[in-house]
Amino acid sequence: MNLATPNIGIISQARMTSTRLPGKVLQPIAGQPLLHYHVQRLRQGGLPLYLAITTNQEDDVLADFAAFNGISYTRGDEHDVLGRYHQCAHEHGLDVIVRVTSDCPLLDGPLVASCVREYVRLANPYLYLSNVLRRTYPRGFDFEIFSRQLLEEAFQRATLPSDREHVTPYIHQNRSGQVHFRHSSRVPNRSHYRLTVDTAEDFELIKVLIEQYGADKLGVDDLIQLLDEHPELVALNAHVEQKKV
């Protein structure tokens, strides 16, 4: 592994069989599937992007989407998402992995890229940098950055079903005792806003934001300002509870 000039990649996990809103990542907004916005916004950060999808027949449409949009993808077990990440990182020789999820259509690519630059500057293979352990950003801007060394250790040692499904618990719970932490945060705290899509109400908010406010063209600070100014939009999904890990 080379952290002096590392091979960096964003890996986004996606599937069509979401429990609360099946097929959500291909639901259309303004004539484009939800996944289109996720991909286009991440590409603004200039980092390579890969999809980690399942071998389920239902996800053949995601393979088609990836091929049509020139995105490399890996297919693996639906419940062993950690295995999919490990496979993708090895297939593409990644030294640094950025984990995101495809139900975040307004993720800010330049924000992710700036944190990746900080990660690379620190050049520590035991570093885990994220904005999810100490939340200050709205849900929907989540990212985690870690080395292939940490991913390899998690893949080899994590045995709990929840470890395999949620990818990073073995790392961020520091079960090896060697992980160093760095947190990306902002002031003021807006972690109570939801810009992720898990339910029909979440989808409706994103649809309104993109179709009526051009949210897909706004950076994270402008999006937060928009929500600050429109509490009626925040109310559309304020009651939704995040699924517990």
pLDDT tens digits for range 154-198: 999 999 999 999 999 999 999 999 999 999 999 999 999 999 999
Q: Within 13 Å, how many C-alpha atoms sit on residue 181's CB side? A: 12
Model confidence over 27-59: pLDDT tens digits? Answer: 999 999 999 999 999 999 999 999 999 999 999
User: Amino acid identity, residue 161?
Assistant: P
Residues 6+ apart with CB under 8 A from 52: 11, 12, 13, 14, 73, 74, 76, 81, 84, 85, 87, 88
Question: Which residue matches tokens 């939800």?
Answer: 34
Q: DSSP labels for 63-120?
A: HHHHHHTT-EEEEE-SS-HHHHHHHHHHHTT-SEEEEEETT-TT--HHHHHHHHHHHH
Question: CA nearest 49: which of 115, 123, 100, 116?
Answer: 100
Q: Which residue has the tokens 């959500």?
A: 24
* Domain 8-194 architecture: Alpha-Beta Complex (3.90)
